[in-house]
Structure formats: C-alpha cells, structure tokens
Structure 1
Amino acid sequence: MDPFLSLFFSCFLLTSGYIVVQASPHHHHHHHHRRAEHEVYDDHAFSRRPTKLFVFGDSYADTGNIRKSLGNSWKEPYGSTFPGKPAGRFSDGRILTDYLAKFLGVKSPWAYTWMKLGGKKLRNGMNFAYGGSGVFNTLGDLLPNVTTQMDFFEKLMNESLYTKRDLQSSVVLLCLAGNDYAAYVLKDGSVQGLQKFIPKVINQLTLDLKRIKALGATKVAVTSLEPLGCLPRMTQMSAFQQCNVTQNLAVGYHNFLLQQAVEKLNNETRTSTFFILDLYNSFTSVLEQKGDSQGILKFETPLKPCCMGINSGYWCGSLDEKGAKMYTVCSDPKSAFFWDASHPTEAGWRAVYTNLKSSLEQNLKSY
C-alpha cells in the first residue's frame, strides 16, 4: 500500500483508542466590534479573564464523552496518573483540554455526556469532544461529528443553560487530530482521492468555525494536525526510531490550507477571533529535543509509547478472553512522551503545552 495511505489506514483503530481532539474558541472583546449590536452587556463580559472554556473535537480533547463500549479510555491503565483510575481521557492523566483550562484559570470543563451530574461545575463551560470523531462522520452515527457537537451546544443555548454572553466571555477550543482521513481511507482508499478530500475537510471545518463565531464566540483556538507520521502506530515499523516523512508532508498540506482558511476568516470579519494552536511544531519540537523547551521534562526514546500491546494484535488496555493483560506499561509514564499508539502522556501534553504557552499569551492578551 502507498505509504501516504498506510499512514491514515493504520491510524484509525478506535478500539486502540485513536481519537482526535477539538479546540474551543477563545474570547476577546473590543468595544468597537460590539457597538453595532445595540446590546447591553454587564461589566463582567469585559473582565480580564475568560470565564469558561467550551471544547469541540476528538480524543486529544475528550475528557469523558466517548461511550465506555467504544474506547479503551475507560479501561485500566488509562487514568493511572490522574485521576488515579480510568475516567475517559485517552492518556495516563491530563490532556490538552486540562492544560488549556489551567492556562485560562478555569477548571477543566465538564463532559457533556455527564452534564446531569455537573451541578455547579457547568459554570466552567462544557466539553463536547468525542474520541474518534471528525468534521464528518467517522464511525457511522456512533460518534457525534463536530456539527452534531455544535448542535448539542446550540440546544443548551436555546434552553438558556448558556447564553451568547457566556460564549463572548469564553474561549473555544476546536481540536481535530486526523480521524476524518483515517475513516476516508478505510472506506475508499485512493491517494488521489485523499488529496482531493483534504480541502473538503478544511471547507467543512471552516463552516464549523463560522458557526461558532455566529453563536457569539470571540476567541477560538483551532489545532493544526500533529505529525501523524510520528505517532507510535507509524514509527513501530522502524522500532520507534524515525517518523514517516511522506505522511508528515501530507499533514503539512492540511495545515497549510488550515492556515489560509483562518487568515481568510479573520480578514473577512476584521477580527482576530481565530488562531491556530500549532500542535505540529510543538510536537515536533518536543520530539527533536527529547523534552520540553525549559529542559525540565526528558523523554529519552520519545517515539516509543509507555503502554503497548504485547504484539500487533493487541493494544494498551486490552485483555485476553481470560482477563489477562495483553499489554505492558513502562515503569515511569513521566519518562515517556507517548502514552499509547496515538496519544501523549500527561507529561507529553505538559511539554506540548509549555511550547504553546507563548502563542496562547500572544493570542489571548486581550484578556
């Protein structure tokens, strides 16, 4: 199979927990942008800090929405670092959503699926991301795509659980890590088709970004694609020694079109509503430096996952028919960048977050 195809083909095994994240919009207020609306706002709408975080996307952002039957994120050893047991995160601990919330000074938003248990926690915003989802349907109707996730949010606005003002004083994260491409290749599989499909993904993503802005978002962070060719699922063939360059070139095409789309949206609206959280360069930097930019975190073999199946038929968290573990876990997850075949460890996400901090400060300075 063409390497460009095999990249995506092998990325998409839901059972192994390959899920993508979405990012949520970040908010900033400039009074002159609001004058035409003839609405009265409370002072808190212009407070120095965002009050909530709303999240859309996939497993890089999902904090518990995916059904227990669909993902290994609810099985041991997931969640072993935080919160100490499996809780729906595709990692040993905290993920991108948690670090973004920390940056904003809000608590990590409650997962939409568990809303009825949320109570006062709903004041932190809400997470609508589902592991494995994309802008299009990736697994039939089993996983809500981004449009459906936004439908859920709009329904809550119609029920007055959240208001336009809430969105205006919040940040939105829309995080997508490549599930659309994996699903496409599984279904059709031609390289030429995939190269034509990438612009379709960006076009749909652009419609989703326009929609969340129309609902009131003033700051929206959207993730670039991470280097898919560096995921352990792909580097396994080289004994976790080297990334697949062909695949990363394809990712570069997606990210180039995304950059163009975001610039065009900001120009059309004469705002700086949208900005890119550059997962590609932040991942690449950590992998090349074998650690974070401050030299605090060290990853000696950064392409090798902490938790892996004992052979190709198994994956992190899998058991045999007798209930025996069919995976191994490294002695110290903090020493690994990747947790499983597709997702970073908590320490990995912390290193990525460290590299993203200056961009976040620059794009959210209006708070």
Structure 2
Amino acid sequence: MGVVKEGCYLLFPFVILSLSVPLLPLSVHSQCTKPPIIFNFGDSNSDTGGYVDGLGLNFVPPNGRAYFHHPARRLADGRLMIDFLCESLNTGYLTPYLNSLGPNFTNGANFAIIGSATLPRYVPFSLHVQVSQFLRFRSLSPALVLNGYQDLVADGDFETALYTIDIGQNDLAASFDSLSYPQVIDKIPSFITEIKYAISNIYQRGGKNFWIHNTGPLGCLPQKLASFARNAIELDEHGCLRPLNNAAKIFNTQLRVLCEQLNSQLINATIVYVDIYSIKYDLIANASHHGFDSPLMACCGNGGPPYNYNANITCGRTGYTVCHEGSKFISWDGVHYTEAANAVFASKILSTNYSTPRVNFNFFCNKM
C-alpha cells in the first residue's frame, strides 16, 4: 500500500520465500530473552475471537477447516496473518481482551474486533474504544499482579511491548456504500487522525514500539467486485476496481506520512509502517506464479464464477458452496483471506522487503 519511505521500521527477521508455491513462514527462533509482548488493535483481518466472545456465539463450518479443523473464532479457513507472525516470534496466539473464560494475557492481548473501523469514535468497537479498553487494561494490571493475579502483563512490559494496528478497510468500504468517490477521499484524513490519536494515547502511557499495517486492495475483494456496478474503465488490468484501490492508495499515502511524522515527533519511539497493500496486490496480480488459482473468486460462497459471492448466501449459510481442501484460493469468503494466502503475507512481511530501512529482528530485541 503506497511507497514505504525511510523512517519506518519492521521488526522481524529475514525469511526466504519460495517463488513458486506459497509456504508457511519458516521457523524463526527469537533472540529475545523472553517472548515479546504484543497488543493488537484492528478489525477482522486480525480478530482472533473478540467478536465471538463479545456476542457469545461461534462461527460455523467450514470456517477453521484448514488448520484448527473446527470453527476457531476467526473469519477464515485457518490461521490469520497475526497468528503466523506470533508463531515466528515464538509466542502464543493472542488472547482476545473480551475472553472471560481462562484468558492468558502473559504475551499481550488482542483488542481487534470484526467489523471495527476508526469512525464513529464511540461505537463499539471502534479504534477509539479498543484503545480505551487497552488503557483500562494498562491501568488495572499492575495492581492485580501485585495482588497475586497471574496470566497478566507485568508493569515494565508495557514499555517494551509491540503495539500493532491493522485498521481502515471498513472505513473505506462503508464510505463507498453511501458516498461518491470525491466524498470518500475527503473523509480519509479523519480516519488517519483517529490512528494518530491511538498511537499518541498509547505512547503517553509508555508504549514505544508501534507496527502499523496500511490497508489492502479493497477493489480486489470478490464481495466488492460482485456488489458494485462496473464497466470496463473501472477495472484495472488484473480485474480489480480502480476507484476502490485508488482510495486505498490515498489512505496509505496519508498513513505513511503520519508514520514518518510521528517517528520524528515521538521521542524514543519507533513507528513501524508495513506495506500490506503491495504484498496483497502482488499475490493477486501474480497468483499463478505463487501457485494460486482464481485470485478474484471466493473459495466459500455462492454464485460460481467469476466471484462466487452472493450477499444473501454467504459462507456457512444454507446454499453455500466451498472449494476442495487443498485448493489454492486467495479469498476465503469474498472479504477475508485463506490461510494459504495469510501464510504468504506473513512470509513477505518477515522478509523485510516491504519496510524501509530493512532491519532484522535484532533491532527489536536490543530495545527490550
């Protein structure tokens, strides 16, 4: 998403990625003296169960079939990108903040919730609300640890923790549902401002290490392709909607500028900017090169080619169809990605090719 400029750092080790088939991230042994603490904020791209915990429900098969072999509180057939990144750091999957049944927060917490956006601010579970939840978690944890509570983060760990944010896709998607293209572009600075507030609020409570994803190619999602009226001029050479992708690029440019500004303004802070847009778009544009089929078609949905997406019969609802296990699809349900695609995304992040400068994991370890 956009061009990455100097001043934004990626804090992961180099991993070799196969040029022909998507592989899971290679095993990486952390050089830190203890597993890193991670606090994550975002939407369905990184929600590991907060939505399910908050509403007291569960997803239905075939969600979760590829790895967990049952619905695993994620909108995917298996692991998310955040799961692979946790594996690469030798730490457990992040427990949702809303999990009240035997939670383990020793390695951090996940505040991401499916459907979340930066705006409106006070609507659950906007980014502002997620940060408010974190601030409460931050203020109560030290006293609880002193009183003998276990499975929590120690007070000093908040300053060395890694704070990750992956949000913005739903802001853009919702805007296109009711606004013209120029009106959507005019709203983007307000989304960026909310991300700025989130980083600043966490920084004021001691956070120093931030890892910020830009947003993906919205115009390549089967849901959007099936839902929006199209003509040939709206589609790019790979079949994606230009207006939606152009808006994502403008969002990403402004996010990159914010990242650079905060790197210079926040003393002793490192702001991570990760070009997820380029990672995802490259996989879609060069799907066959990476061993994938039907890059713009959902594995699980209804309607068949070219997109297999029907808003009235989504994945898991009566009438859906699903591709064979082992199929190399990029889109799981028209909105979310398959485990195979998430594995490639994580591997590319770990390569450091999408960060500038290219810094390996030792940089992060030395800050602990």
TM-score of the aligned structures, taking structure 2 as reference length = 0.76
* SS at structure 1 position matched to 2:310: coil
- CA RMSD between the two structures: 3.0
C-alpha separation in 2, matches of 1:346 and 1:47: 27
**1:132 and 2:115 matched:** yes
Paired position in structure 2 for 1:20: none
- Give the Å deviation of 1:86: 1.2
C-alpha separation in 2, matches of 1:331 and 1:27: 36
Q: How does 1:10-25 map to 2 (within 5 A)?
A: none
* Alpha-carbon spacing, 1:47–1:87, altered in 2? closer, same or farther (3 Å): closer
Count of paired positions? 312
Structure 2 letter corresponding to 1:213: Y
Paired position in structure 2 for 1:36: none
**1:232 and 2:222 matched:** yes
Query: Structure 1, residues 94-150: CA drift from partner, whole Å, max 9, x if none?
Result: 0011012112221111111214421xx321211110000011139x84x31111111
Q: How does 1:60-71 map to 2 (within 5 A)?
A: 60-67=45-52
CA contact (8 A) 1:314 1:327 kept: no
Equivalent position to 2:167, from 148, 158, 176: 176
Equivalent position to 1:267, from 264, 269, 282: 264
Q: Which structure 2 segments of 5+ residues have no match?
A: 1-8, 13-30, 142-151, 304-308
C-alpha separation in 2, matches of 1:279 and 1:189: 25
CA contact (8 A) 1:26 1:219 kept: no
Paired position in structure 1 for 2:294: 301
Paired position in structure 2 for 1:6: none
- Give the Å deviation of 1:282: 0.4
C-alpha separation in 1, matches of 2:165 and 2:292: 28
Structure 1 letter corresponding to 2:136: K
- Give the Å deviation of 1:225: 0.8
Query: Structure 1, residues 75-95: CA drift from partner, whole Å, max 9, x if none?
Result: 221111231111220100000
TM-score of the aligned structures, taking structure 1 as reference length = 0.76
CA contact (8 A) 2:215 2:252 kept: yes
Q: How does 1:309-324 map to 2 (within 5 A)?
A: 309-310=302-303, 312-319=310-317
C-alpha separation in 2, matches of 1:70 and 1:84: 22
C-alpha separation in 2, matches of 1:69 and 1:168: 28
Paired position in structure 2 for 1:347: 340
- Give the Å deviation of 1:191: 3.2
Q: Identity, % of aligned pairs?
A: 25
**1:97 and 2:79 matched:** no
* Alpha-carbon spacing, 1:245–1:365, altered in 2? closer, same or farther (3 Å): farther
**1:208 and 2:206 matched:** no
CA contact (8 A) 1:27 1:170 kept: no
- Give the Å deviation of 1:364: 4.1
Structure 1 letter corresponding to 2:190: K
Higher share of residues assigned helix: 1
CA contact (8 A) 1:156 1:162 kept: no
* SS at structure 1 position matched to 2:314: coil
